[in-house]
Structure 1
Amino acid sequence: MKYFAATYTYGEPSLVDDTRPAHREFIASQLSLGRIVGSGPFADGDQALIILQLPDSATEAEAADVLDQDPYTVEGALAAREIREWNPVMNIFA
């Protein structure tokens, strides 16, 4: 499997709050499909981290395609999003 770390920077707080229930449903659905192995906000509350697990052949563009379906992305609730391939040297996800 290949892993990707996505960092979300939240945008307008009221839009984030309004979209959060649909976002959490999306995260839960991707978790049940085995695509997301971890997700949650940083303690400061300004950003969140999502760890995706995709097939070995996956690219960052394919990881972006998955996250493009997130209501936070669809509704424009994010100020920024960064996706990078991640190499978990100490891998507890497998």
Structure 2
Amino acid sequence: MLVVELAFTPAPERLAARPAHRETLTRLHTEGHLVTAGPWSDDTGALLLFAVDRAQLEQILDTDPYYRRTPGVEIRTIHTWTPITGTLQAS
């Protein structure tokens, strides 16, 4: 799995691009590529957990302009994550 951490600023372009980006997230989740995603409670960024390899992730990041071309959105980190126990559940 790959974890992507984003950082946000209150740029109006980011807020305008967010609905289309969230539609893409819903599609990726339905397709099984995205496990879960959501913003920090203070809206300074977000965490996304993908069930894809690095090449697939790069394609996803390049396809959705939100990640690379939208003012106010910065990819902070991408980490490989190997869970060892538990299941993910929405609270």
Moved more, 42-51 or 80-89: 80-89
Q: Deviations over 1:40-89 (max 9, x none)?
A: 001121010000012xxx2x343222122223125323133421111112
- Aligned residue for 2:23? 25
For the 8 Å contact 1:7–1:47, the answer to whether it is kept is: yes
Runs of 4+ in 1 over 6 A off after TM superposition: none
Name the CA distance, whole Å, in 2 between partners of 1:72 and 1:11: 13
* Between 22-31 and 65-74, the greater mean CA deviation after superposition: 65-74
User: Quick one: which of 59, 63, 78 aligns to 1:65?
Assistant: 59
Task: Give SS of 1:20's match.
Answer: helix
Structure 1: give runs of 5+ residues left out of the alignment.
none
Aligned counterpart, 1:10? 8
Tell me the alpha carbon deviations over residues 1-20 of structure 1, each in whole angstroms, 9 at most, x when there is no partner: xx000001114521111001
Higher strand share: 1
- Give, as a single letter, the amino acid of the residue that structure 2 aligns with 1:17: L
Aligned length: 87
Hey, what's the Cα distance between the residues in 1 that align with 2:33 and 2:86? 16
Q: TM-score, normalised to structure 2's length?
A: 0.80
Secondary structure of 2:63's match?
Answer: coil
CA distance, structure 2, for counterparts of residue 68 and residue 11 of structure 1: 20
Name the CA shift for 1:36/1:17 in 2 (closer, same or farther; >3 Å).
Answer: same
Q: CA RMSD in A?
A: 1.9
Matches within 5 A, 1:68-87: 68-77=62-71, 78-87=73-82
1:73 alignment partner, SS class: helix
